[in-house]
């Protein structure tokens, strides 16, 4: 039977029902999937070290036989040691495995093994010993050429399938495939960037050979950095497909003619002017123009508005909504938290008080009859501007004629949620706003389907926020600074990482602290406590008091992180600052220095904070540029965590790493866009068919696109 990329894995010799089930769970269904399972490391197993010549602290590969079968010592509960001796013709070496008692059944006497590891002097016996080395059993009669005597690929184990089994199966699959002319990448792109063909790249990915023109060390290093041409090809391919999909999503939306007709008449302009409480910055004007261009155009808008905290995104969004409302359509504004919804609603009411617009807000708090009433007014078109959490998309909120959706603080929503939103109804124009400055590489992955506007200018009169790091010993001094500020009429945030005492973490409880601050330190001013477990009404009330200046010191957990805007608050104390990530600190700090009074951010740290933590805090002291901070943060934490893991909507790539491979990402984007445009506008049927295949592949991989 001939094997191709679509052949189910169970047709490969050695894959029965059990194994194919394990593969299935890992998303590997076909031979094509299996051969794209990448090694995560490569070892040079062309040279075995003689055991007699082992040196301490040097990574080596040794081949020998098990002399003494494993002796399993149970030291105490939770600690077991398996001891073996492995020998070759030159000598023998002890090998110890910790806490892997099942290995005692794996190593039989006279078993041939390959060990890979770093021998060290044992602190008891002073003998050179391997501890927890990587190992492989050599099975007589099997084709050993694939496991040793070559650059050997090492795979992450999939459940019970060890690296050795995987290597065997992948090798078998490649052999069975034979030379295949099929390639998932367009030929012209392959040749433009000198990428090897798919088949060649697969061989080089799994069973690379030392090239003649590079030193062994260099080649191995390149392999382990994932930068050989074959590896880069796969990174490119993955990014290319992804970018192609995002681009298609965007172009697809843009190809849909808009039913709505929106114009910027003089009366609309007048209204826009009348609601502005200040002169917009040049950046705000520029961005509004970009947005208005989209709104008045005949294609559906999908635009991202990026701007650092405090750059004034809200008013731009408001203007966009006013344009739409003035033209007779509805607007919706979504925010990630109830707190923000309430703030937005208050602000919108304030900005729009001279207009006849009918505003409503929809949050979890609004229930029963009131909710019903609002929903029916939204449906009838009576409500012109609706503010809500993303419950707006989850529930079936029906609009009369929704013209624009503004999504605030987008990084809390994912790509998928966004595409859900855009699928709604008659495709409203969409403006997505993000306050977390996202490094370009990441922005392209998460927002590649959007056009981007950037607010790169702060409103005038902002004084930079001064940032200092303080130890516990300076607490009194810190309090006297706060007291002085409050006396001058300013307000203060004190941020805690958690809300309740956790003995384990020795965190100061926000609750307790708030009480203590109120009763012992700041008896004469009002201290408020904000945390996630307050009832929405309580939060609302407290926030209102803070906005109105009735509460001077707001002790809070990170619920205030996103978007809260109280210009009179000028000082922020962040307790246990070492526990926060950089972007989070930046977001928190963005809450202050919003008015004419400047700002002071005091980062309180524990004596025991790690060096890493101090480095992080140092970055905070040195810069207030959100983009720089985001770059650093991304470097330190990696893309998943950077955006808050799962729900971040950052796609997980198998080959590519958007930090390491950002140049390839950029290249892939350019190629994907020009490829799509070229094929789409040309009349080469073969190319069109090719594009169709790529689209299908993309759908399968990401399953979140729907064009039209």
Residues that bind ligand ADP (CB under 6 A): 278-281, 284, 307, 309-315, 435, 459, 563, 565, 567, 594
- Select the binding partner of residue 311 from Mg ion, ligand ADP, none (C-beta < 5 to 8 A, by kind): ligand ADP
Q: Is 531 helix (H, G, I), strand (E, B) or coil?
A: coil
Contact 288, 319 (CB under 8 A): yes
Q: Which of 301, 310, 324 is nearest to 281 (CA)?
A: 310
- Select the binding partner of residue 567 from Mg ion, ligand ADP, none (C-beta < 5 to 8 A, by kind): ligand ADP
CB of 323 to ligand ADP, least distance (A): 17
Contact 507, 566 (CB under 8 A): no
Per the structure block, which two tokens stand in for 296? 């008045």
- Select the binding partner of residue 363 from Mg ion, ligand ADP, none (C-beta < 5 to 8 A, by kind): none
- Select the binding partner of residue 309 from Mg ion, ligand ADP, none (C-beta < 5 to 8 A, by kind): ligand ADP
CB of 628 to ligand ADP, least distance (A): 17
Could you write out the DSSP letters of every residue in 592-604?
SS-STT-EEEEEE
Contact 582, 629 (CB under 8 A): yes
- Select the binding partner of residue 613 from ligand ADP, Mg ion, none (C-beta < 5 to 8 A, by kind): none
Strands 359-362 and 385-388: parallel
CB of 251 to Mg ion, least distance (A): 29
CB of 313 to Mg ion, least distance (A): 5
Q: Please say which residue, 279 or 423, places its beta carbon nearer to ligand ADP.
A: 279
Kindly state the DSSP code that residue 518 receives in the 8-state scheme: I
Give the long-range contacts of residues 477-485, CB within 8 A, separation 24 or more. 478/573, 478/602, 478/604, 479/521, 479/522, 481/571, 481/600, 481/602, 482/522, 482/553, 482/571, 482/573, 483/522, 485/570, 485/571, 485/600
Quickly count: other Cβ atoms within 10 Å of residue 574's Cβ: 27
Q: Please say which residue, 19 or 412, places its beta carbon nearer to Mg ion.
A: 412
- Select the binding partner of residue 459 from ligand ADP, Mg ion, none (C-beta < 5 to 8 A, by kind): ligand ADP
Q: Please say which residue, 308 or 631, places its beta carbon nearer to Mg ion.
A: 308
CB of 624 to ligand ADP, least distance (A): 13
- What are the two backbone dihedrals, phi and then psi, of residue 683, each rounded to the nearest 5 degrees? -130, 30
- Select the binding partner of residue 649 from ligand ADP, Mg ion, none (C-beta < 5 to 8 A, by kind): none
CB of 628 to Mg ion, least distance (A): 20
Q: Please say which residue, 201 or 321, places its beta carbon nearer to ligand ADP.
A: 321
Quote the CA–CA distance of 292 and 370 in Å, as a whole number: 34
Quote the CA–CA distance of 448 and 431 in Å, as a whole number: 14
Kindly state the DSSP code that residue 521 receives in the 8-state scheme: I
Q: Please say which residue, 435 or 572, places its beta carbon nearer to ligand ADP.
A: 435
Q: Please say which residue, 567 or 638, places its beta carbon nearer to ligand ADP.
A: 567
CB of 304 to Mg ion, least distance (A): 14
Residues 6+ apart with CB under 8 A from 653: 235, 238, 239, 242
Report the Cα–Cα distance between both ends of the chain, in Å, rounded.
Answer: 41
CB of 339 to Mg ion, least distance (A): 12
Quote the CA–CA distance of 519 and 525 in Å, as a whole number: 10
- Select the binding partner of residue 312 from ligand ADP, Mg ion, none (C-beta < 5 to 8 A, by kind): ligand ADP
Per the structure block, which two tokens stand in for 405? 């959706």
Q: Please say which residue, 310 or 651, places its beta carbon nearer to Mg ion.
A: 310
CA dihedral 581, 587, 590, 591 (to 10 degrees): -110
Q: Please say which residue, 314 or 557, places its beta carbon nearer to ligand ADP.
A: 314
Per the structure block, which two tokens stand in for 348? 């919108």
H or E segment and range at residue 134: strand 134-138
Q: Please say which residue, 455 or 478, places its beta carbon nearer to Mg ion.
A: 455
CB of 444 to ligand ADP, least distance (A): 21
CB of 543 to ligand ADP, least distance (A): 14
Q: Please say which residue, 527 or 559, places its beta carbon nearer to ligand ADP.
A: 559
CB of 415 to ligand ADP, least distance (A): 22
Quickly count: other Cβ atoms within 10 Å of residue 625's Cβ: 12
- Select the binding partner of residue 173 from ligand ADP, Mg ion, none (C-beta < 5 to 8 A, by kind): none
Q: Please say which residue, 244 or 601, places its beta carbon nearer to ligand ADP.
A: 601
H or E segment and range at residue 291: helix 282-296
CB of 564 to ligand ADP, least distance (A): 9
**Residue matched to tokens 């609004």:** 366
- Select the binding partner of residue 172 from Mg ion, ligand ADP, none (C-beta < 5 to 8 A, by kind): none
- Select the binding partner of residue 310 from Mg ion, ligand ADP, none (C-beta < 5 to 8 A, by kind): ligand ADP
The residue number with the shortest CB distance to ligand ADP is 312
Per the structure block, which two tokens stand in for 584? 């989070």
CB of 307 to Mg ion, least distance (A): 9
Instruction: Summarize as ranges the residues that interact with Mg ion (CB under 5 A).
Output: 563
The residue number with the shortest CB distance to Mg ion is 563
- Select the binding partner of residue 208 from Mg ion, ligand ADP, none (C-beta < 5 to 8 A, by kind): none
Q: Please say which residue, 250 or 313, places its beta carbon nearer to ligand ADP.
A: 313
Could you write out the DSSP letters of every residue in 180-217?
----SS-HHHHHHTTPPPHHHHHHHHHS----TTS-HH
- Select the binding partner of residue 69 from Mg ion, ligand ADP, none (C-beta < 5 to 8 A, by kind): none
Residues facing 42 on adjacent strands: 153
Q: Please say which residue, 315 or 341, places its beta carbon nearer to ligand ADP.
A: 315
Q: Which of 47, 27, 45 is nearest to 36 (CA)?
A: 27
- Select the binding partner of residue 281 from Mg ion, ligand ADP, none (C-beta < 5 to 8 A, by kind): ligand ADP
Q: Please say which residue, 284 or 417, places its beta carbon nearer to ligand ADP.
A: 284
- Select the binding partner of residue 378 from Mg ion, ligand ADP, none (C-beta < 5 to 8 A, by kind): none
Quote the CA–CA distance of 43 and 70 in Å, as a whole number: 26
CB of 305 to ligand ADP, least distance (A): 9
Burial of 544 (0-12, 13-18, 19+ CB in 10 A): middle
Contact 407, 275 (CB under 8 A): no
CB of 336 to ligand ADP, least distance (A): 13
Contact 598, 518 (CB under 8 A): no
Q: Please say which residue, 144 or 347, places its beta carbon nearer to Mg ion.
A: 347
H or E segment and range at residue 482: helix 475-487
């Amino acid at each position: 039977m001939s094997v191709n990329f679509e052949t189910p894995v169970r047709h490969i010799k050695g894959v029965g029902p059990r194994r194919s089930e394990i593969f299935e769970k890992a998303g590997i269904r076909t031979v094509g999937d299996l051969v794209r399972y990448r090694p995560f490391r490569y070892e040079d197993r062309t040279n075995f070290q003689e055991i007699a010549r082992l040196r301490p602290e040097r990574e080596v590969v040794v081949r020998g036989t098990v002399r003494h079968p494993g002796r399993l010592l149970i030291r105490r509960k939770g600690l077991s040691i398996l001891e073996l001796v492995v020998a070759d013709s030159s000598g023998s070496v002890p090998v110890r495995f910790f806490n892997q008692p099942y290995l005692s059944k794996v190593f039989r006497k006279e078993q041939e093994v390959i060990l890979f590891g770093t021998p060290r002097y044992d602190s008891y016996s002073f003998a050179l010993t391997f501890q927890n080395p990587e190992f492989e059993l050599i099975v007589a009669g099997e084709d050993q050429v694939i496991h040793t005597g070559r650059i050997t690929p090492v795979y992450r184990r999939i459940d019970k399938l060890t690296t050795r089994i995987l290597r065997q199966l992948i090798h078998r699959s490649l052999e069975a495939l034979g030379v295949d002319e099929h390639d998932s990448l367009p030929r012209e792109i392959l040749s433009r960037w000198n990428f090897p063909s798919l088949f060649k790249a697969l061989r080089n990915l799994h069973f690379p050979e030392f090239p003649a023109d590079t030193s062994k060390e260099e080649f191995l290093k390149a392999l382990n950095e994932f930068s050989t041409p074959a590896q880069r090809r796969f990174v490119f391919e993955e990014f290319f497909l992804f970018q192609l999909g995002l681009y298609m999503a965007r172009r697809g939306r843009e190809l849909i003619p808009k039913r709505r007709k929106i114009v910027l008449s003089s009366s609309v302009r007048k209204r826009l002017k009348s609601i502005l409480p200040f002169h917009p910055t040049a950046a705000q004007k520029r961005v509004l123009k970009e947005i208005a261009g989209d709104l008045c155009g005949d294609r559906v808008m999908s635009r991202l508005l990026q701007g650092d905290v405090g750059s004034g995104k809200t008013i731009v969004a408001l203007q966009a909504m006013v344009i739409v409302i003035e033209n007779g359509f509805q607007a919706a504004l979504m925010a990630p938290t109830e707190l923000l919804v309430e703030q937005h609603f208050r602000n919108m009411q304030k900005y729009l008080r001279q207009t006849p617009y009918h505003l409503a807000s929809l949050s979890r708090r609004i229930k029963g009859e009131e909710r019903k009433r609002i929903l029916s007014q939204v449906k009838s078109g009576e409500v012109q501007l609706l503010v809500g959490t993303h419950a707006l998309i989850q529930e079936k909120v029906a609009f009369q004629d929704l013209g624009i959706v503004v999504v605030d603080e987008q990084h809390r929503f994912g790509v998928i949620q966004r595409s859900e939103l855009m699928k709604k109804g008659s495709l409203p124009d969409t403006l997505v706003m993000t306050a977390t400055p996202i490094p370009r590489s990441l922005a392209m992955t998460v927002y590649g389907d959007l056009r981007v506007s950037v607010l790169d200018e702060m409103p005038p009169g902002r004084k930079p926020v001064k940032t200092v790091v303080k130890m516990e010993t300076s607490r009194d001094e810190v309090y006297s600074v706060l007291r002085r500020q409050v006396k001058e009429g300013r307000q203060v945030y004190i941020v805690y990482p958690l809300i309740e005492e956790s003995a384990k973490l020795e965190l100061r409880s926000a609750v307790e602290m708030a009480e203590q601050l109120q009763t012992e330190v700041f008896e004469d001013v009002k201290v408020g406590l904000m945390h996630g477990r307050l009832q929405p009404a309580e939060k609302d009330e407290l926030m209102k008091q803070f906005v109105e200046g009735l509460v001077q010191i707001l002790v809070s957990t990170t619920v205030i992180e996103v978007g809260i805007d109280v210009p009179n608050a000028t000082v922020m104390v962040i307790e246990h600052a070492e526990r926060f990530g950089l972007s989070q600190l930046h977001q928190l700090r963005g809450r202050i220095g919003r008015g004419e009074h400047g700002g002071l951010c005091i980062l309180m740290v524990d004596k025991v904070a790690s060096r890493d933590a101090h480095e992080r805090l140092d970055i905070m002291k040195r810069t207030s540029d959100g983009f720089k901070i985001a770059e650093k943060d991304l470097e330190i934490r990696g893309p998943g965590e950077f955006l808050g893991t799962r729900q971040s909507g950052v796609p997980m790539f198998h080959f590519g790493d958007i930090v390491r491979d950002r140049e390839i990402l950029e290249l892939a984007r350019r190629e994907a866009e020009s490829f799509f445009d070229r094929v789409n506008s040309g009349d080469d049927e073969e190319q069109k068919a090719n594009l169709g295949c790529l689209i299908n592949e993309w759908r399968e991989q990401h399953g979140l696109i729907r064009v039209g």
